Structure 1
Amino acid sequence: MFKEITDVFNWLNNAGVFAFLMVLIPAVYKLLKPLLTRKVQTEKNTHVKQGLEVGLNLANTIVPEMAVMAGLSKSDRKQEAIRFVNAQLTANGFNLDVQTISGLVEKAYQAYKVAGGDNHAPISVPAPTEVITPSEGTDSND
């Protein structure tokens, strides 16, 4: 009889542990889910920020190279710069959309232009205003 009572208590003990776990697991999940979601979002934001920084550095590198290519039109230069930045970002595990990459290239170009490196505008050389000629009556012939 003692064995039967012990078996009943063991069964109740096992059922109690099982019921406790059935309540504890969803409660812990409910508490941890917002923390895990926030952590995942923070990691995504960090990855995007790194991608933007790398993309801007790549754009700052390629824009001066493209600016000296006189055989390409302005739009061709920009498209080639976008293609280069996109290829390098993809190779390094970053995935940015084309509009974002275009903005990075434009930002790099504007910085390049402000720094005085823009060679798209034609170089204008001022025409000489007067021609210096030897005047009459000087001592150069004497």
Structure 2
Amino acid sequence: MKDATIDYVLRTTWLAVTKMYNEEASKFESTMATGFALLSIDPENGTPSTSLGPKMGMEATSLSRTLKMMEARDLIERRPNPEDGRGVLIFLTDFGKEKRAYSREKVLTFNEAIKKNVEPEELANFYKVAEVINNMISNKKIYNQKEHTLK
């Protein structure tokens, strides 16, 4: 792995994490996306549907498909947003709250396992590097538009 690029390490690690969570979720006829959605919805006040996509980093089409499946499984319910007549709030059902607790437990188990095997300083460095990468991408400091314009 010493010659691997940064994006290769990120991609293969994320794919391994995704596979692990999906394998665990499949034991309960669920998916990682469903678990992530459950964790992203405020269990008390609900969450506006428009804020879920950006919060989860999902495209509208994928999110819509996930929410439809979650509604069909009685994990969520949609209610009109009293503050915005055009908007919809997503609420967890009692069953959704139960599954949310399960998803939370799995995420915490993963985090604790990593913390037991990685020194705190190394973990702090990991978070710092991830923050730098995210900031550079958000601020378009890797591929700026000027580099790609025709002269």
Query: Is the TM-score greater than 0.5?
Result: no
TM-score, with length taken from structure 2: 0.23
| Bigger fraction of residues in strand | 2
Structure with the largest fraction of helix: 1
- Give TM-score, length-normalised by structure 1: 0.25
Greater CA radius of gyration, 1 or 2? 1
Which one scores higher on RCO, CA 8 angstroms, separation ≥ 6?
1
